Every structure is written in structure tokens, then in C-alpha cells.
Structure 1
Amino acid sequence: MSGPLWPRGLRSRLLVAFVVVTVLGAVVAAWSGAGTAGAALVASSEQRLTEALTGQIGAVTPGLAYPPDQGALERLRSAAGANTLVTYGSLRSADGVAADLVPDSLRTAVRTGNRMVTQRTTGGGEPWLLIGTPVMITAPDGARTPSGIEVYAARDLAGVEREIAGMARSAVVTAALTLPLAVLLALLAAGSVLRPVRDLRDTARRLAAGDLGARSNPRGADELADLTATVNEMAGSLQESMAALRRMQADARRFAADVSHELRTPLSTLTAVVEVLSMSADGMEPDARESAQLAITETRRLVTLVEELMEVSRFDAGTARLRVEDLDVAGAVRDCLRARGWSHRVELVAPGAVPARLDRRRVDVVVANLVGNALRHGEPPVRVVVAASGGEVLVEVTDSGPGLPEHVLPHVFDRFYKADAARTRTPDSGLGLALALENARLHGGDVEAGNRTGARGARFVLRLPRESGDR
């Protein structure tokens, strides 16, 4: 059941349901009791009136002569009381409303059945009980035969109806008096039922807020207590799992940081050797030169990976800090492209100087990662647009490649994520975009990933505040 008028809260629904059921039960019980009492009162009144009429007739009939004359009928009618009709063949004696109220069907039932017949009817807006009975002649041997005299009496039931109406009113009053009691009982019942539910709600909120030690105390041995115990078990299992996960994450971060740190010294030595090898590679035999170039490429790739791992470990440890300075963002982007030899491959659109206070090194890292990603995975032309919008600096990087598939979009900033799992030997470590996002957020900015509207290609937008405080 639902609708605009039906209460939405569980407490309100319990109150309404409890009150409705209680009041309906009281109404049904009171009304049923009133109906039963009314029926019993009518039956009792009918029995009393028929017995009274029988006694009145029996007091006169022994002195009547048969066949009776008009005078005998008059005496019998007078003995039966007001509103009585007495007939014998064509003779009749009537008083009051009886002659008008007695229907032919009642007369036929009395005449053919030779027994007393009663019928309730309404006349003049009042309820009446019609009683029809034949007068029987008892022979010395006890045999009873009809005398042909018929007595019809109309008895007023208005008093009985008033008593029944009074009982109905009493039933309504009784049902009405149950309403405040039902509301009180509903409040008590709802409070006792909803208290454990509120406790569970509060516990769930604390768990959702990160307090994994939140628990509820089970009360009683009902279904709510079982539910509370189950929630506590679930919270305990979740707490243990999260603790284990945090330990594993801490171990993994510590391992990456330790390995990166330990690799710096041997990699520095190896880099120096590789640089010497690079200078002398031109004089080598073709096979040796190819092997040397491969060693140089892989060594540089390894150095880049270690540097990125160390940067990631600083973000994870919370030790990464900004060193802000007055910066022309357009000039910084231009320097980034020139330093990496990308100036002839990338179109830069900048309206002029775009001043801001940012960390130059970290802005360079973000732009290099976004442009490098476009050059590796997109298609030319690659365009970088630098603009200022209010208190923000926007750097938009677009390419003309196939764009980002829908299943890739949610994961482009995940660490070590590669859209094509088969491309494991690319220079891209899978950390570039993750580091770009971390550096942007360290400034209080963000990086958005998507596809160009109305054209092919991916679109990345770097948003940075023009005033980044030291962090």
C-alpha cells in the first residue's frame, strides 16, 4: 500500500496500522455486541408480548359461547387490549391501527396453519409487532380444534427500537474511547519495536562514516536481536578484512618505496655506463649497436619507472609538498614541449601570458604526461590550449585518434592501468596519468578525461587554481 496520503516513515506506518486495527477491532466488537444484544432484546420483547396476549385471550375464552356473537367478539377484543382486531366469519371487532396494519398474508398464515404467527412491520413511521393467533376449543378429552375466531394484535416496538439505538450509540462511544488508548498503546509498541531499529541505523551510519568498531547491543531473543547479532558479526568481519587490507597496502607501499630507494644507486651507475655506451654505439657492428640501443632504451625506461614509483610513494606517505612560485603557465607549457622535442609535433594555442602561482616542476610533470599520452596513443594533430577562466587556469590536450572507449574511461587514472593489456613493452609505465591527477589535486585542481564532442580523439583538461598555497 502506498500513496501520497500513506505515511512514509516506519514509525508513522506502525502507529497508523496499530491504531486502525485496534479501533476497527473495537468497532466490530462493540457493533457486534450491540447487534447481538438488540436481537436478544427484540426476541425477548416478542416473547413477552405474545405470552401476554395469550394470557389475555385465555382469561376470556372459557366464558365464550360458540358460535360467538358480536358481543362476544367485543369482550374478547377488550380483553386483548388496544390495537386489536377480532374476526369470526363476517363478524369483526377492531380497535386502533390493527385493522389497517394486518396484511392478508398474515391472516392466511394464521387461518391455514392454526397457529400463532408474528410479523414485524412499520406503520405511521413507527415499528410494530403484529401477532395473529386462532382461538382453539379444547374438548373434554383434551383435543383442540379451531373455533374460527382469530385475534390480531399490533404492539408498539418504538421503546425497543429506542433501547437498541441507545446500545448502538454506546457502541460508538465505546469505540471512540478506544482511540486515545490505541494511540498510547501504539506509541509504546512502536517505541519498543523501533528502538533496536534506530540503534541499528545509528550503527550503520557510524560504519558508513568509517567507524568500523561500531556495534549494537542485542536485546531479547526475537528476530531484531538476531538481525543485530548478524550486523555485529558482519561489522566484525569487515573490520578484520579492512585491517588486513590496510596492512597489505602499507606493506606494498613500503616495499615499493624501499625497492625504489635501493635501486637509485645502482641505476645511477648503470645510467652513467649507458650514456658512455650511447656515445660509442655509432662505431659498433650493426648487431652490437642494436643490442646497445635496446639496453639504453630499457635502462632509461627503468630509470623513469623508479622515479615515478618514488613519486607515488611520496604521495601515499603524504610527504609530497608544493613549491609555488610566480609562473606564466603558457610559457611553462611551451618550455615543457621544447625540452622534450615535441614543439614540431604539438600545436600550442595560448592567447598570451597566463600568470599563476603554481609549482613549476609539478605542472611540467602533468603537462608532459598528458601530452606524452596523446602522442603515444592518439593520432596527429595533437593540440594544447592554455586559457584562464575566472580563478582557474585551464590546459586542454586533445588528439585526433580513436578516443577513449567507454570501458576505459573509469580507469584512465588507475595506477598501472593499460587499455591494451598486450602492449606491455611500451615506454608507458601506467603511472603517468595517475601521477598527473595526484599533482593536480595537490594544487587543489583536477584532471578530466573524455572524448572530443563532434570529432574523433581523446580530450584531457587540467584545471588548476591561479593561487595555490604552499602545501
Structure 2
Amino acid sequence: MNRRNQGGGPTAKRRSRRLAGGLRTRLVAGFVVVALISAVTATALAYRDARTAILQRTQNTAVDDLRERVSTVAADFDVPPNRESLSRFAVKVSEGIGVGTPIVLARYQDLVAVSDTLADTEGRITTELRAAVRGGGGARFQRVMWRGQPYLIVGMPVLIYDDGKSRVSGLEVFAITDLRAERDDTAALLDSVRTGVVPVVVLAAVLALLAAGTVLRPVRKLGRATRELAAGDLGSRVAVTGHDELADLARTFNETADALQASDAELREQEAKARRFVADVSHELRTPLAAMTMVATVLEEDADQLPPDAARAARTVGAETARLARLVEDLMEISRFDAKAARLNATETDLADTVRASLALRGWTDQVRLRLPGGVRAVVDRRRIDVIVANLVGNALRHGAPPVIVTLKVAHAVDGEWVTLEVADHGPGLPPEARGRVFDRFYKADAARTRSTADESGQGSGLGTAIALENARLHGGTIEVADGSRGGAVFTLRLPLRRDGEETR
């Protein structure tokens, strides 16, 4: 009997693993990662380009304004200047620049004047920028960080024109412009773009879910149809829509299912014919076998009065006729199981008495050790239990070695109460390859097990264990085989102690 999974069990774990690492999850994760990378890349590029454009515009404006203002003020400025005139020059240049309110520093040799006398210009104008301006060649600029704040420093030499020619006057002008406003603008732009990443990622996730649903819906249908096909529903098919790869896959599945269904129908038909043939042949053999058995019995009874060769022949004919009769009966029994015509005639029975009666009927009582507690009663078909016991004990006596021990037990399990009947021998046991096939029809493992002298009639038909297993299943039970702890083979019949009603096959 199958036990249901409790507390989620392996099925729930497999489902959670499938959800955690399933195709839908991977698709959504892939969409989100691509969208996130794209958004971050676009944000970085936009920030870089915007920052460059803002700073470039500020730099160009500052340089143009300083150049224009210096040209205007320097036209009325006399060189060499004194401290007072140099200060007025710096203030006039500062007042005329349109970009913010820059601090202007004017330098002539050792004289230095600042448009804002309270401003601290020390450290803002670098040595490199001073050297570049002193060398002439037009305006120069440099962005610096001073006390954690950004500044743009623009410097240029003042030229003097004499007779249409220009020369350096020795006067240098530096404009210090605060870039905090531009920094705040680029930071605000970055924040706005960064804020836009979230809805982009959410939108990508939604689109991924929709795309995954569209792609996975036919995959789920195909998986469901495959499971139905594996469960035995050979009529399971998938609707083919579209002309893409999934449609080709569904079409291939349907073609495979059609071929499998046709093959199954053909095999079932052939199997039914084979079963009918076996049943018909077995039935037809019963009448001539009855006559042969009667004649063989008469010959065996008179064998002592015949010459030695004729007596031996008469006994051989009798034994082989009996064996053929048993084979025909086994085939008839198997055909009833195959046709699902076998029925239980179940009554409440003392199992220990049933086992003893089966052994006594065949004269095996003295050859078997019994461990049969009394009072073990179950609703069984006594005749079919007799068949099971005869086959299991007969195999142990024929192929195993003494002592053969038959043990009856009652076991309590989660799925109910069970009665077990163990038949153990102390022979060589079954090799692993034979253990998996011992219940197959017509399978014989005699090469692996010694033949005891308990059976002089020759090998069996190979149907005994198969018939025993079918009888056990008819009762809702089973038969298992294993190696004994001290060698030999142990066959265990397991039957439910109580049954809800008569079962049929």
C-alpha cells in the first residue's frame, strides 16, 4: 500500500526548488538584470554628458566674459600700476563679469590686488596655473577643490598694443568662480535619473512576467500532457497554435503520442491473442491429459509386474504426465489472472491452521520448522493461501538447504495491521540478478541454488512464484525476497490483517 506524503514532504520540496530555480524565475531575473544594467548605464552616461555640458558652458562663459572685461578695462589702465590703481582695476573687472560674482585677483610683479578684500585666495590659484598664465598665450582655466568646494579659476595675461603689435605687460588677472550651483544642478539631475531607475526595473519585471507567461503557458501544457502520458493516458494531446518552435515541439509530441498509442494498441492486441491462445491450448489439453493421466496411473500401479525397463518407462511416463498436468493447471491459473477473472472466496480463517494443513497435505510437516502462534485470524481465501504456502515452502525444500523455517507474525504499521509469513532456508541464497526476476514467469534460478533430495520429480514450470505473487496481490498484499541473516533466501508474504471487502481482479 502506498503512503501519502505528510507535512509537505519531498513533493513540496521539489515544488519549492522548481519555483526557486524555475524557468519563470530565471526569465524574470534576466529581464530585471538587463533592465537594471541598461538603466544604470544610461544614468551614468547621461550624468557624465550633462555634467560635461554644464561645466563646459560655465567655463566658456567665464573665459569669454573675463577676456571681454579685461580688454575693456585695460584700455584705460596705465602700466606700471600702483596698489591703488591695481585694486580699482580688479574691482572694475569683477563688476563687469556676467557669470556669478567672481573674485578677481590682479597681479603685477610683487603687487597683488583682490576685488574682495575679505576673500581668502590663498591656495585656490595653483602654481601650475600661474606658470601657464605667466608664459602668455591667452586665457587658461583650471577646476580646483578648495575646502571641499569646487571652483573654476580662469587666468590670463594683459597685453599692451604698441604700433599694431602686442606684448605682455606683466599684468596678470585671475577670476575665481564658485561652481557649487553647477554641482548642485548635476547632483539633482543624477537624483532624478536614479529615481527613474525604480519604475524602469518594475516595468521590466512586469513585462518579464507577461513574457514568461506567454512563453511558459504552452510549456506547462506540454508538461501536463507528458505527465498524463507517463501515467498511462495515451490519449493525452496538446493543442498546436502558431508556427514557432513551441508549436513544432507540440506537434512532435502529438506525433510521438500517436505512434506510442498505436504501438500500445498493437501490443495489447498481440498480448490478448497470446493469452487467448494459452488459455485455449490449456483448455484443449485438459481432456487428452485426463486420459493420459488415467492410463499413466494404471501403468504405474502395474509397474512392479513389468520387466525392469518397461517399469522404469511406466514410472517416467507417469511422472512426466503429472508434471504436464501441473503445468497446464498453472497456465490456466495464470490466464485467469491475466483475464482479471480470478475471484476471492474469502472467509475468516486461522492462518496457523491453514499453514499446517497445507504442509500436512504434501507430507512436508517433518521437513519444516514451524513458528506459528495461535489466534492469528484474517479474512483470506484459504485455497489461494494454500497455493502460496505450497509454492514458497516447495521452493525452499527443492532449492535450499535445511532447516526450512516458517514464521508467522503480526506487525503494526502506520498504514494498518499486517500479517507476515516468512519462509527461510539455509541454502546458497539468490544472486542479485536472480532476486529481481524471481517472480517473473518461467524464470528459473536453479543454476544458482543447489537441488535438495526432497524433490525427485525434476524442475518446476517456473510459474509457481508468479502465481503466488498474483494470489498475494489479489488479497491486497505482496511477496518480497531477501537474503537471510545466516545465508539462504527469505520469502516474506505480507497480507492485510483486515480487509474492507472482497476484491477482484
5+ long unaligned stretches in structure 2: 1-15, 95-101, 450-456
Tell me which residue corresponds to 2:103: 83
1:407 aligns with 2:433: yes
Give the counterpart of 1:98 among 121, 129, 132. Answer: 121
Which residue is equivalent to 1:461? 492
Give me the whole-angstrom Cα distance separating, in 1, the residues matched to 2:210 and 2:404.
71
Alignment of 1:141-220 (within 5 A): 141=164, 143-220=165-242
Q: Is the 8 A contact 2:141 2:154 kept in 1?
A: yes
Q: Per-residue deviation at 1:151?
A: 0.9
Q: Deviations over 1:125-152 (max 9, x none)?
A: 43210111112234434x4332211111
**What is the deviation of 1:87?**
1.0
The residue number in structure 1 matching 2:474 is 442
Preserved contact between residue 139 and residue 156 of structure 2 (Cα < 8 Å):
yes
The one of 127, 132, 144 equivalent to 2:150 is: 127
Unpaired runs of 5+ residues, structure 1, are: none
Choose the corresponding residue for 1:310, options 328, 332, 348. Answer: 332
- In structure 1, distance between residues paired with 2:167 and 2:323: 132
Provide the C-alpha distance between the structure 2 equivalents of 1:213 and 1:354, rounded to a whole number of angstroms.
47
Q: 1:43 to 1:360 in 2, by over 3 A?
A: same
Report if aligned partners of 1:374, 1:398 keep a CA contact under 8 Å in 2. Answer: yes
1:47 paired with 2:79, answer no
Q: How does 1:235-274 map to 2 (within 5 A)?
A: 235-274=257-296
Deviations 1:35-70 (A, max 9, x none): 211111111111111111111101122233333443
The answer to whether the Cα contact below 8 Å between 2:428 and 2:448 also exists between their aligned partners in 1 is: no
Aligned counterparts of 1:261 and 1:113: Cα–Cα separation in 2: 125
> Residues 430 and 448 of structure 2 are in contact (CA less than 8 Å); yes or no, is this contact kept in structure 1?
no
Separation (CA, whole Å) in 1 of partners of 2:72 and 2:107: 18
SS at match of 2:183: helix
Which amino acid in 1 is paired with 2:297? Answer: E
> Equivalent residue for 1:275?
297
- In structure 2, C-alpha distance between the alignment counterparts of 1:439 and 1:450, rounded to whole Å: 20
TM-score normalised according to structure 2 size: 0.86
Task: Give the distance between the partners of 1:355 and 1:123, measured in 2 at CA.
Answer: 101
- CA–CA distance in 2 between the matches of 1:113 and 1:221? 74
How far apart are the structure 2 equivalents of 1:244 and 1:327? Answer: 44
1:275 is displaced (CA, Å) by: 0.7
Instruction: Tell me the residue number matched to 1:398.
Output: 424
Residue 256 of structure 1 contacts residue 309 of structure 1 at CA under 8 Å; is this kept in 2? yes
- Is the contact made by 2:396 and 2:404 (CA closer than 8 Å) also made in structure 1? yes
Residue 342 of structure 1 corresponds to 364
Cα displacement (A) at 1:71: 4.3
Work out the CA distance in 2 between the residues paired with 1:279 and 1:226.
76
1:15 aligned to 5, 10, 28, which one?
A: 28
Query: What is the match of residue 97 of structure 2?
Result: none
Q: State the AA in 2 paired with 1:137.
A: I
**Residue 208 of structure 1: CA displacement?**
2.3
- 8 Å CA contact 1:98–1:153 kept in 2: the answer is no
Contact 1:11 1:194 in 2 (8 A): yes
Residues 180, 388 of structure 1: alpha-carbon distance in 2 compared, 3 angstrom cutoff? closer
Distance change >3 Å, CA 420–CA 44, structure 1 → 2: farther
Quote how far apart the aligned CAs of 1:222 are. 2.9
2:141 aligned residue = 118
Q: CA, structure 1 residues 249+115, in 2 after alignment: closer, same or farther (shift >3 Å)?
A: same
Which residue in 1 is equivalent to 2:405? 383
Native 8 Å contact 2:399 2:446 kept in 1: no
- 1:319 Cα deviation after fit: 0.9
Q: Deviations over 1:97-155 (max 9, x none)?
A: 434411222212222354422111123443210111112234434x4332211111100
Which amino acid is the alignment partner of residue 153 of structure 1? A
1:408 is displaced (CA, Å) by 1.8
Structure 2 CA distance for aligned equivalents of residues 344 and 312 of structure 1: 31
Q: How many Å apart are 1:289 and its aligned residue?
A: 2.6
Q: How far apart in 2 are the matches of 1:230 and 1:104?
A: 79
8 Å CA contact 1:337–1:343 kept in 2: the answer is: yes
Q: Give the whole-Å Cα distance in 1 for the aligned partners of 2:460 and 2:448.
A: 13
Give me the identity figure in percent. 46
Take 1:444 and 1:100, find their aligned partners in 2: how far apart are those partners? 98
Instruction: Return the offset for 1:426.
Output: 4.2
1:429 corresponds to: 461
CA–CA distance in structure 2, aligned partners of residues 427 and 75 of structure 1: 132
2-structure distance, mates of 1:166, 1:330: 93
Counterparts of 2:233 and 2:358, CA distance in 1: 45
For 1:218 and 1:421, the matched residues in 2 are separated by 55
The alignment partner of 2:44 has SS state of helix
Q: Provide the C-alpha distance between the structure 1 equivalents of 2:49 and 2:123, rounded to a whole number of angstroms.
A: 31
Aligned-residue Cα RMSD (Å) equals 2.4
1:336 and 1:113 mapped to 2: Cα distance?
126
Task: Give me the whole-angstrom Cα distance separating, in 2, the residues matched to 1:442 and 1:332.
Answer: 18
Q: For residue 437 of structure 1, report the CA deviation from its aligned partner.
A: 0.9
Deviation at 1:253, TM superposition (A): 1.1
C-alpha distance in structure 1 between counterparts of 2:234 and 2:256, whole Å = 10
Identify the residue that residue 32 of structure 1 maps to in structure 2: 45
User: What is the Cα deviation at residue 420 of structure 1?
Assistant: 4.5
Report the counterpart of residue 98 of structure 2 in structure 1.
none
In 2, the alpha carbon distance for the partners of 1:170 and 1:326 equals 85
